[in-house]
Chains A and B, each alone.
Chain A
Amino acid sequence: MEFNNGAELLELCQKTGFPISQIMKKREAEFSKISEAEVEKKMRKALEIMRNSAKEPLKNPKKSMGGLIGGEAKLLEKHRLEGKSICGSVLSKAITYAMAVLEVNASMGVIVAAPTAGSSGVVPGVLFALQEEFDLPDEELLNGLYTAGAVGYLLMRNASVSGAEAGCQAEVGAASAMAAAAAAEIMGGSPQMCLWAATGALSNLLGLVCDPIAGLVEAPCQNRNSIGASNALICAEQALAGIRQIIPFDEMAEAMYHVGRCLPFELRESALGGCAGTASACEKSCRIFGKTEE
C-alpha cells in the first residue's frame, strides 16, 4: 500500500474507503514487516512521550541549555487559568503545549521529533488541546499521528523538512501541515479536507526563514512552534468548513521546496541572518559561547 504523492494518497483512500490514518498505518506494517498492533504500540509510546513533554513544564519549568528560554508555557497556563486568555481555550492550550515541548527539548529532556526536534511542539500542541476541549480518547490522537505521519512523509519525500536546507517553512511549516491534517481527520474531515488543511498550512508559512539565535534550538524556534500550532488549527477549521484550496497539495509541497532553495544561506539555520543577525541576538550569542565550561 504505497503512495508517492498526495494525489495517489487520495486515490488510495477513495479506492479502499480508509481514512489517511489507516492507509499510513497499513503501509508501515507492510513495509516494516511488523504487525499493525506493533505499529500501534510504538505510536502509543511516542504519544506518551509527547504528552509528558507537553505537560511537564507546567509543573516544573526549566531553563534551556543556552538560557534563552524557559517558563513560557507556565506563564501562558497561568494567564488562561486566570480567565484572561484572548485566544480562547483551544488556541491558548495549543500554544501553551507547543511552547512546553520546545522548553523540554531545549533543556535536554525527552521529546519526539515531529518531524524535527526544532518543530516538535506543533503536533502535540494541537493534539492535546483538541483532546481536552473535545474529550477525545487516545485512539483518536493515535489516528491523528498516523495522518500527521502521512503528510510529513510526503514532505520528506518530495520536498524537505530541514531548516538548513529549506528554512523554517520546511520545519515548522511541515509540522503545521501535519498537525492541520491530523486535526481535520480527528474532527471528522474527509481525506480531501485533510490535504486542504495541510496545503493551507504550508501556503501560510511559505518563505518563513530559519534564524536561530546563537544557532540554538531555542528562540525564535519556541515561538514559531506556537505559530505552527495556531496555523494548523486555523487551516483545519477552514477545511472542515468546506473551504477549498486552489493549489493541490503536491504543487504546494513543490512550491515550498522551491522557495526554500531560493533562501540565502544566511536564512537557513546558519545563525547569521534574520533574528539571529540582530545586534541583541549577537550579544546573547557572545555571552553564551564566551561561557567557560563547568
Chain B
Amino acid sequence: MAFISLFEVIGPNMVGPSSSHTAGAASMALLARKLFPGEIKSVHFTLYGSFARTYRGHGTDRALLGGIMGFETDDLRIRDSLRLAKEQGIKYSFSVSEQEDAAIHPNTADMEIEGTEGEKLFVRGVSLGGGKVKIVKLNQIEVDFTGEYSTLIVSQTDKPGVVAHITRVLSEEGVNIAFMRLFREEKGAAAFTIVESDEKIPAEVLDRIRENPLVSDITLVQL
C-alpha cells in the first residue's frame, strides 16, 4: 500500500469548497500548465459527469482556469481567476458534455490549450477525491500519471531502442526510476514514455535523451 502522509489527512491547504471539485480541478489544470512549454493564448475546458452538473456551485470553472494560470490549490486568486484571465488576455471557454459514459470518471475535465505560437496540447484530467488527481490522456494517447513524482514525458516514435536509450541515460545520470511506462496509439506510431522518480531529475538528462532522432519532444515536471 502507498504511504499515506500526515498532510493528506491534515490537508491539502486549499481554496474551498470541495477537495475533488475545486482543489482537484486546480491541481489537474496546474499539471496541464506545467506540461505546456509555451505561453498560453487560449484554453477550452469540457466538463463531464459531476463536474458538468455542479461546476458553478463548486467554483470548478475558476479552479480550472486558476490552475492553467499557475495558481496552487491554496492561492486565493483562484476566486478571481475569470477576471484575471481576461486582464491577462487569456481566452477561455467552458462546455459541458452530456455524455454519461461509464468509462469516463465522473469528475473529469478535458483541457485544450493553445499557445501564442499556435502550439496545441490536449490534456484529460481526472479528480480522484481528496484533492488527488491524475492525467489520463495526452493529445490522442491514453496515459496514467499523477504529478506526485518528478515526471519525465518523452514523445517518441514507437520503434526499437528508444526506451533502452532513455533508461541508459537515466542510469548514467544516476536517476532512480520509481515507475516507467510506455503508452502508444498503435504499433510503430506516436508514443509516450513516462518516467516517474522520487527525486529531482537533472536537466542534463533532457538534452541527452533528445540526442536520439526518434525522440520528438520531452517535458519535465519537477517535484
Say whether B56 contacts A115, CB under 8 Å: no
* A165-190 interface with B by 8 A CB criterion: 178
Say yes or no: is B129 at the interface (Cβ < 8 Å to chain A).
yes
* A252-277 interface with B by 8 A CB criterion: none
Query: Count of chain B residues with Cβ under 8 Å from any Cβ of A?
Result: 35
Say whether A108 contacts B9, CB under 8 Å: no
Contact stretch, chosen from B72-80, B116-124, B138-146, B187-195: B72-80
Identity of the chain B residue whose Cβ is nearest the Cβ of A215 in the assembled complex: B54
Say yes or no: is A216 at the interface (Cβ < 8 Å to chain B).
yes
Say yes or no: is A79 at the interface (Cβ < 8 Å to chain B).
no
Shortest Cβ distance from residue A27 to the other chain B in the assembled complex, whole angstroms: 8
Say yes or no: is B130 at the interface (Cβ < 8 Å to chain A).
yes
* A133-166 interface with B by 8 A CB criterion: 145-146, 148-149, 152-153, 156-157, 161-162, 164
Known: A105-B16, A216-B17. A116 touches B130 (CB 8 A): yes
Partner of A108, one of B16, B53, B131: B16
**Neighbouring A residues of B12 by C-beta, 8 Å:** 112-113
A interface: dominant SS: helix
Partner of B10, one of A32, A104, A112, A289: A112
**Neighbouring B residues of A281 by C-beta, 8 Å:** none
Say whether A113 contacts B59, CB under 8 Å: no
Shortest Cβ distance from residue A144 to the other chain B in the assembled complex, whole angstroms: 10
Say whether A117 contacts B10, CB under 8 Å: no
Say yes or no: is A39 at the interface (Cβ < 8 Å to chain B).
yes
Say whether A108 contacts B56, CB under 8 Å: no
Say yes or no: is A210 at the interface (Cβ < 8 Å to chain B).
no
**Neighbouring A residues of B18 by C-beta, 8 Å:** 117-118, 217
* B1-30 interface with A by 8 A CB criterion: 1, 3-19, 22-23
Say whether A109 contacts B15, CB under 8 Å: yes
Say yes or no: is A65 at the interface (Cβ < 8 Å to chain B).
yes
**Neighbouring B residues of A117 by C-beta, 8 Å:** 14, 16-19, 22-23
Say whether B129 contacts A157, CB under 8 Å: no
Shortest Cβ distance from residue A4 to the other chain B in the assembled complex, whole angstroms: 8
**Neighbouring B residues of A282 by C-beta, 8 Å:** none
**Neighbouring A residues of B16 by C-beta, 8 Å:** 104-111, 117, 120, 217
Q: Among the interface residues A112, A161, A178, A288, which one has the most CB atoms of the partner chain B within 10 A?
A: A112
Say whether A217 contacts B17, CB under 8 Å: yes
Say whether B54 contacts A156, CB under 8 Å: no
Known: A109-B16, A215-B54. A28 touches B9 (CB 8 A): no
Say yes or no: is A99 at the interface (Cβ < 8 Å to chain B).
no
Say whether A111 contacts B14, CB under 8 Å: yes
Say yes or no: is A293 at the interface (Cβ < 8 Å to chain B).
yes
Say yes or no: is B174 at the interface (Cβ < 8 Å to chain A).
no
Say whether B5 contacts A110, CB under 8 Å: no
Say yes or no: is B62 at the interface (Cβ < 8 Å to chain A).
yes
**Neighbouring A residues of B10 by C-beta, 8 Å:** 43, 46, 112, 114-115, 123, 145, 148-149, 152
Say yes or no: is A45 at the interface (Cβ < 8 Å to chain B).
yes
Shortest Cβ distance from residue B126 to the other chain A in the assembled complex, whole angstroms: 14
Shortest Cβ distance from residue B213 to the other chain A in the assembled complex, whole angstroms: 38
Shortest Cβ distance from residue B137 to the other chain A in the assembled complex, whole angstroms: 23
Say yes or no: is A205 at the interface (Cβ < 8 Å to chain B).
no
Shortest Cβ distance from residue A106 to the other chain B in the assembled complex, whole angstroms: 5
Give the distance in Å from the alpha carbon of A107 to the alpha carbon of B57 in the complex.
10
Say yes or no: is B58 at the interface (Cβ < 8 Å to chain A).
yes
Say yes or no: is A218 at the interface (Cβ < 8 Å to chain B).
yes
Shortest Cβ distance from residue A58 to the other chain B in the assembled complex, whole angstroms: 17
Shortest Cβ distance from residue B81 to the other chain A in the assembled complex, whole angstroms: 10
* B169-220 interface with A by 8 A CB criterion: none
**Neighbouring A residues of B17 by C-beta, 8 Å:** 64-65, 105-108, 117-118, 216-218
Give 6 closest A-B pairs by Cβ, nearest first: A105-B16, A152-B9, A217-B17, A28-B6, A149-B6, A216-B57
Residues of B within 8 A of A (CB): 1, 3-19, 22-23, 50, 53-54, 56-59, 62, 74, 76, 78-79, 129-131
Besides A24-B6, A108-B17, 15 more A-B contacts (Cβ < 8 Å) are A46-B7, A49-B74, A65-B59, A104-B16, A109-B76, A112-B14, A113-B12, A153-B9, A215-B50, A216-B57, A217-B16, A217-B58, A288-B57, A289-B57, A291-B56
